[in-house]
Structure 1
Amino acid sequence: MSSSDLASGLVFLSQILVGVLGNFCLLYHYLFLYITGYRLRFTDLIIKYLILGNILFILTNGVPRTLAAFGLKDFLNDFGCKLLSYLRRVGRGMSIGSTCLLSIFQAITISPRNSRWAKIKVKAPKYVVFSISLCCLLFMLVNAIFPMFVTANRRNDTTKRRKALGYCSAIVHDKIRDSLYTALLSFPDALCLGLMLFTSCSTVSILYTHNQQVQHIHRTKLSPRTSPETRATRTIVLLVSTFVFFYTISAILQIFIALFHNPTLWLLKMGTLFSMCFPAVSPFILMGCNSSVSGLILSCRRNKKSPNSVRYM
């Protein structure tokens, strides 16, 4: 085992431990609030969906890549490679889709009454389950073809060209088919990314406008404490910026891996590293968000059985 393999294996293992711990802590928080009688917001279902997607992706992507870095490369058979690759793609889709849904429902929730979102603001909670189901179904269907192009390294098949992906291999076709296939897999990610950027920018604009309108009120206060609107804006910008940064780099690396006939081991490792960054750090962003912003999806507010009793993260 080379020093680079050992270093990459330790990095992947650290990402797994941090990501799983953070997501389970956030999941435990919601379970604790539910058991103790606090009424959760309708958007908490989306966050739970995000947690499950993060855990699924971290385990199906990080564990086999860590084992491969430590020298155990041919430990999966053909069925194991297909199943693990499919679950990894679905988990990644769940993470991206849930982040997109959070951004959309956030923009709807805090929108003013005279905005374009006002008509569906009251009905928004009724569409949460449907939106999650549709998002999950979309990524399951789009990635259903993915296992057909994945095989085990130890498979004795010399009739088809294959490229090594570490612990598994991928069947190589002509450039046109591979390009179309890459575009098909990238379309849902690009759509979610575009929607999230649009709704998040709208949210920041709404909060900034509101902050400007009440700025004279905050100036009359003796306390130099930052306004709730400003803290909410910072949380949104941090979450969106983190998502855009890591997933943009990850998407670019995945496109190169898909198009290159023999991607280098360094490219595969970097693709794994950046793809697991957001699922690992997103629960800490949600747990560390400012809890004093009333009415914001990411404010982590928890209402008890009494409508006047509020629980904060």
Structure 2
Amino acid sequence: MKSENIILSVFLFSQTGIGVLGNSFLICLFISVFLSGHRMRPIDTIVPQLALVNFLVFLSKGIPQTMAALGLMNFLNEIGCKIIFYLHKVSRDLSLGMTCILSVFQAITISPRTSNWARLKARAPKYLIPSSIFCWIFHLVFSSYIPGGIKGPRQNRNISEIQHYVYCSHKLLSGFHASLVATFLFFPDAVYLGLMVSASGYMVILLYRHHEQIKQVHITCLSPRASPETRATKTILLLVSTFISSYLLNCILATYMSVIKSPLWMMHTSGFLGLCFPAVSPYVLISSDSQIPKYLYALCGRKTTHFAQITD
């Protein structure tokens, strides 16, 4: 095994372990909070879904990519490849969709009451669950084409007809058909990215105006700490910027790989970039969202009280 592949395998293994741990923590925390009957925010219906789909990204991409980086190339048969690629496509698109829903909802939440978004502020929480359900159904159906083109790692076919992805392969399209399919597949991503960029830009403008108003009003009783809405907005902006940067870098690398014959280290690098957001996002939420430590404290306090009652 080459030195660069060893280094990448260590990075992939570490990234997968860190990402699985962080997303598992969020999933278990929100399930426990829900079962305990604790009052939750509307946005808390989306955060555990984001953690779940990010966990599925590591299950379908992080673990297989790490195994391939360690030299295990033929650990999947054709059926396994179809399942893994379908699961990765659905979870990756859902991760984009849930991040988009979070950013749009937060933009509506912090919008002034005098703006055009004010009418949606009261009704927006009611739309979160239907929006997430629609997102799940859409991508489960939209990605149903994936298994048809995925092949096993070993195929006795013309090498020019097959695009290899380290541990699986995909049948190549050519000409106008390939361009049409690529445009069709990229359209949902373009819509999500457009909504996220628009919502993020709107939130940045609102935060800037709010900051300027605070600078102009010199009242000593004002608390220097940011409001919960401001902290939540900054958290969503950090999530969106992390997603867009890793997404664009991965797209650039993937486009370059489609033009030239890619070495193994470049494929592993593409996989690493694709896993950056799922690995980082839970820790951004844990460190930036003040409500998560409160949930954890409430659960720990409840368990401590329950244990004390039993021992007494």
Q: Which TM class, normalised by the smaller chain length?
A: 0.7 to 0.9
Note the C-alpha offset of 1:10. Answer: 1.3
More helix by share: 2
Note the C-alpha offset of 1:290. Answer: 4.9
Offset from partner CA, 1:154-196 (integer Å, 9 cap, x none):
2334598212210011112213322222222222112111101
C-alpha spacing 1:183/1:253, structure 2 compared with 1 (3 Å): farther
Check conservation: 2:8, 2:265, Cα contact below 8 A: no
1:144: which partner in 2?
144
Name stretches of at least 5 consecutive residues in structure 2 with no aligned partner. 296-312
Note the C-alpha offset of 1:253. Answer: 2.4
Q: 1:50, 1:162 → 2: CA distance?
A: 33
2:282: which partner in 1?
283
Q: 1:122, 1:232 → 2: CA distance?
A: 18
C-alpha spacing 1:300/1:105, structure 2 compared with 1 (3 Å): farther
Q: 2:216, 2:148 → 1: CA distance?
A: 62
Q: Is the partner of 1:43 in helix, strand or coil?
A: helix
Q: 1:266, 1:151 → 2: CA distance?
A: 22
Q: For 1:289, give the aligned amino acid.
A: S
Check conservation: 1:18, 1:280, Cα contact below 8 A: yes
Note the C-alpha offset of 1:21. Answer: 0.5
1:267: which partner in 2?
266
Offset from partner CA, 1:68-100 (integer Å, 9 cap, x none):
111110111111111110100111011110000
Q: For 1:85, give the aligned amino acid.
A: F
Check conservation: 2:151, 2:171, Cα contact below 8 A: yes
Check conservation: 1:107, 1:200, Cα contact below 8 A: yes
CA RMSD of aligned residues (A): 2.5
Offset from partner CA, 1:217-238 (integer Å, 9 cap, x none):
5652597x45437655543442
Check conservation: 1:53, 1:92, Cα contact below 8 A: yes
Check conservation: 1:6, 1:70, Cα contact below 8 A: yes
Note the C-alpha offset of 1:15. Answer: 0.8
Q: For 2:138, give the aligned amino acid.
A: L
Fraction of identical pairs, as percent: 39
Where do 1:65-80 residues align within 5 Å?
65-80=65-80
Check conservation: 1:38, 1:302, Cα contact below 8 A: no
Where do 1:220-299 residues align within 5 Å?
220-221=220-221, 225-228=224-227, 231=231, 234-257=234-257, 259-260=258-259, 262-291=261-290
Note the C-alpha offset of 1:208. Answer: 2.5
Q: Is the partner of 1:163 in helix, strand or coil?
A: strand
Report how many aligned residue pairs link the two structures. Answer: 294
C-alpha spacing 1:240/1:27, structure 2 compared with 1 (3 Å): same
User: Are 1:177 and 2:174 counterparts?
Assistant: no
Name stretches of at least 5 consecutive residues in structure 1 with no aligned partner. 292-298, 304-313
Offset from partner CA, 1:233-273 (integer Å, 9 cap, x none):
5434422221211111122223344x336433233112101
Check conservation: 1:218, 1:227, Cα contact below 8 A: no
1:202: which partner in 2?
202
C-alpha spacing 1:255/1:181, structure 2 compared with 1 (3 Å): farther
Q: 1:148, 1:10 → 2: CA distance?
A: 33
Note the C-alpha offset of 1:286. Answer: 0.7
Q: 2:24, 2:119 → 1: CA distance?
A: 36
Check conservation: 1:111, 1:206, Cα contact below 8 A: yes
TM-score, length-normalised on structure 2? Answer: 0.85
Note the C-alpha offset of 1:128. Answer: 1.2
C-alpha spacing 1:302/1:175, structure 2 compared with 1 (3 Å): farther
